[in-house]
């Protein structure tokens, strides 16, 4: 009995138990805030959601985020640099374990916190993929760029389920995504979107085209991706956690593993939607180039033409529309002769060539005739020698 009492005291004193006890006193919305973090390297910015595994004496905290957020930390060789995880006054460092392809596949990534302050995430994923319905009440939490280190919570509803998103300007492969009617901001990508009743994750925010029109990578797609990329242990706490977690390179270098999970897992999580039907057509090289040209034309139409800024006039002058602007600023006086300058003396003129190649022509009495800028002149000299020859003298 004595030893049991000591064991209980030790358990109560552990940071993990203390954090869990503190989380238990929070409302579901406040817990959602505690599960949301800011990801940054001082330049890029995104949001993520914490998912902690406690296996005996081993505590491992993962962060789920969008793949395009993880791409901020990608090196040129396909590996990833460490990133900072921030939540209030807590700081930690995380590494990328898995990263999807946001253009061709699933826009999600898995990180692991490897050092720094203790983080504990109680996030759970929503089971029963076919139970997400239009009109379902949802809650989102993210870290907007305008409010660094603030985890803002917003409320809304699911507005479309299983939308076939096939915009070729944003995605290479058509995908089934969900639309949500909720307030979100730049910097909230990767933040969790949860069911208001259970506070279980139904997806991660990945895009937005209006203040209340967002697009999420649904949990059903993340589940399928986690199975294919051998990280179901960071998605389902009932799946055994490997003793060694080996990070993979960027998704273009990933190798797909053999399916190691049973059908019972699929039955527990629900029915996945069918893959979108994609029509594959054969085209010739010329037809392919025409298609690329048409696509490029569509992209260029979206880019507004921006006129180069005009320098301010001092004093201000009103210029009538259509009138040509005449620059009547007098030319600057040439620099005085320097001992290091090269001077060519002829019968009529003195030609000085400065170190930067500028040619200054004066008459015998030293009066200025002309200043020639080397970057603007491509001609023969009127004095019988080429300009390049004059520079070489």
Is the four-CA dihedral 164, 169, 172, 178 of positive or negative sign? Answer: negative
- Spell out the per-residue pLDDT of the chain, length 393, in tens: 444 343 334 444 445 445 545 555 789 999 999 999 999 987 788 999 999 999 999 999 999 999 999 999 988 877 889 999 999 889 999 999 999 888 888 999 999 999 999 999 999 999 988 899 999 999 999 998 876 668 999 999 999 999 988 887 777 788 899 999 999 888 999 999 999 999 999 999 998 876 788 999 999 999 999 998 889 999 999 999 998 898 876 555 555 566 678 888 888 898 888 877 777 778 788 888 888 888 787 777 767 666 566 555 455 555 556 555 555 565 556 556 555 555 655 666 777 777 677 777 887 777 777 777 766 554 444 444 444 444 444
The pLDDT score that the predictor gives to residue 254 is: 55
Provide the 10 A C-beta neighbour count for residue 224: 18
For residues 390 and 351, the answer to whether their CB atoms sit within 8 Å is yes
- Which structure tokens are listed for 365? 């009495």
Q: Is residue 307 in some structural domain? A: no
Q: How many domains does the chain have?
A: 2
Of 51, 81, 116, the position where a domain reaches its end is 116
CA 343 to chain centre: 57
Report the pLDDT value the prediction gives residue 325, as an integer from 0 to 100.
Answer: 55
The pLDDT, as a whole number, for residue 172 is 79
pLDDT given for residue 334 in this prediction: 57
pLDDT for position 64: 98
Is 177 exposed, middle or buried, given 0-12, 13-18 or 19+ CB atoms closer than 10 A? buried
The answer to whether 184 touches 162, Cβ cutoff 8 Å, is no
d(CA 280, CA 92): 46
Q: Do the domain assignments include residue 85?
A: yes
Q: Across the strands, what pairs with 123?
A: none
DSSP 133: -
Are the CB atoms for 131 and 186 separated by under 8 Å?
Answer: no
Note whether residue 233 is domain-resident: no
Its pTM stands at 0.67
Closest among 108, 162, 130, 122 to 267, alpha carbons compared: 130
- Position 25 in a domain: yes
Domain boundary residue, one of 88, 116, 144: 116
Within a domain: 93: yes
Where do we find the tokens 């590494």? 95
In this prediction, residue 383 carries a pLDDT of 43
The domain boundary residue, chosen from 83, 116, 149: 116
Torsion from C-alpha of 325, 326, 330, 335, nearest 10 degrees: 70
Task: Determine how many CB atoms are found less than 10 A away from the CB of residue 321.
Answer: 4
Domain that holds residue 25: 2-116
- Return the pLDDT at 239: 93
Residue 7 in domain = yes
340 vs 45, 80, 343, 365, CA distance in Å?
A: 53, 53, 9, 21
Whether 297 is covered by a domain: the verdict is no
pLDDT at 88: 86
Burial class (CB in 10 A: 0-12, 13-18, 19+), 273: middle
Q: What is the CATH number of the domain that holds 23?
A: 2.40.10.10
């Amino acid at each position: 009995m004595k030893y049991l009492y000591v064991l209980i005291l030790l358990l109560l004193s552990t940071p993990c138990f203390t954090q869990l006890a503190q989380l238990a006193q929070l409302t579901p919305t406040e817990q959602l805030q505690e599960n949301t973090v800011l990801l940054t390297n001082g330049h890029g910015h995104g949001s993520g959601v914490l998912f902690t595994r406690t296996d005996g004496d081993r505590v491992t905290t993962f962060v789920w985020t969008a793949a395009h957020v993880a791409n901020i930390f990608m090196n040129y060789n396909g590996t990833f640099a460490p990133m900072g995880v921030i939540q209030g006054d807590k700081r930690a460092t995380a590494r990328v374990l898995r990263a999807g392809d946001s253009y061709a596949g699933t826009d999600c990534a898995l990180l692991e916190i490897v050092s720094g302050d203790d983080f504990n995430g109680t996030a759970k994923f929503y089971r029963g993929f076919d139970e997400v319905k239009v009109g379902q009440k949802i809650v989102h939490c993210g870290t907007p760029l305008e409010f660094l280190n603030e985890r803002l919570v917003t409320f809304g509803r699911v507005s479309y389920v299983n939308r076939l998103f096939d915009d070729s300007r944003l995605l290479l492969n058509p995908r089934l995504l969900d639309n949500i009617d909720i307030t979100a901001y730049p910097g909230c990508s990767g933040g969790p979107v949860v069911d208001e009743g259970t506070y279980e994750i139904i997806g991660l925010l990945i895009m937005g085209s209006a203040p209340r029109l967002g697009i999420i990578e649904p949990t059903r797609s993340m589940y399928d991706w986690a199975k294919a990329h051998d990280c179901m242990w960071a998605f389902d706490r009932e799946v055994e956690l490997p003793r060694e977690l080996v990070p993979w390179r960027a998704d273009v270098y990933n190798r797909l593993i053999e399916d190691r999970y049973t059908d019972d897992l699929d039955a527990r999580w629900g029915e996945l939607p069918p893959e979108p039907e994609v029509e594959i057509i054969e085209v010739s090289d010329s037809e392919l180039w025409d298609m690329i040209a048409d696509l490029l034309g569509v992209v260029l139409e979206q880019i507004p033409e921006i006129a180069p800024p005009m320098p301010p006039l001092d004093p201000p002058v009103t210029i009538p529309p259509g009138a040509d602007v005449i620059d009547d600023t007098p030319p600057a006086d040439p620099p005085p002769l320097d001992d290091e300058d090269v001077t060519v003396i002829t019968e009529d003129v003195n030609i000085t060539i400065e170190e930067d190649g500028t040619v200054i022509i004066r008459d015998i009495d030293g009066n200025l005739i002309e200043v020639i800028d080397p970057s603007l002149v491509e001609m023969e000299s009127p004095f019988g020698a080429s300009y390049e020859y004059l520079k070489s003298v």
